[in-house]
Amino acid sequence: MKDQIAKRYTDALVDGMSLNDLVAVQGIFASLSSTLEDEKIKDIFSSPYMTDETREEILLKSVASAKSDKVNNIIKLLVEKRRIDIFGAIADSLALMVAKQNKAYAGKIFANSDIKKETLKKFGDNIGKKVNADVSFESVKDDYNGVKIAVDDLGIEVSFSKSNVRNQMIQHILKSI
């Protein structure tokens, strides 16, 4: 739900922005999001004793260096609608837009052992050719009994499970008998 709401605000925010402005605004919202994730700050901002005007003033001062009327107006609107909890979703949505414009995506490879950097690069190059984009991977050590490749922004997920392959081989042998 937050993602859908954030998408509306993001679309209004980025209308007519250049890529450089988009990157800058994404950084602003990522910074705001990480700041508001701190428990003490979250408690202060969610306090019923803090007025909306005070919230707005604090947030506007924190983004004053951006000198952007669009950012200021979105922040005012978010405070007015009491939706400052969606800064993270807006930052994620903006990051996805930047990735789409740059055609550069990041993915993860889950396995129960470490994967060499050369292998990660090969996977990135091969998948990048298929989707006509730059794809980079990071290795995530996991309990998964096989290999799972995921690029969430592109909606790609491929997995090879040892138990699944074994079961499919057994099924194939049984059908052929």
SS (H, E, C) 118-130: HHHHHHHHHHHHH
User: Tens digit of pLDDT for each residue in 87-113?
Assistant: 888 888 888 888 888 888 888 888 888
Q: What is the pLDDT of residue 96?
A: 85
pLDDT classification of 133: cutoffs 50, 70, 90:
confident
Query: Structure tokens of 9?
Result: 């605000």
Query: Structure tokens of 156?
Result: 């790609």
In this prediction the pTM is 0.72
> In terms of domains, do 93 and 52 share one?
yes
Average pLDDT over residues 44-51: 86
pLDDT classification of 85: cutoffs 50, 70, 90:
confident
Q: What is the pLDDT of residue 115?
A: 83
> In terms of domains, do 73 and 112 share one?
no
> In terms of domains, do 117 and 69 share one?
no
> In terms of domains, do 83 and 128 share one?
no
> In terms of domains, do 13 and 30 share one?
yes
Q: Which residues contact 173 (CB under 8 A, 6 or more apart)?
A: none
What residue numbers bound the domain in which 164 lies?
A: 103-176
Query: Structure tokens of 130?
Result: 């298929």
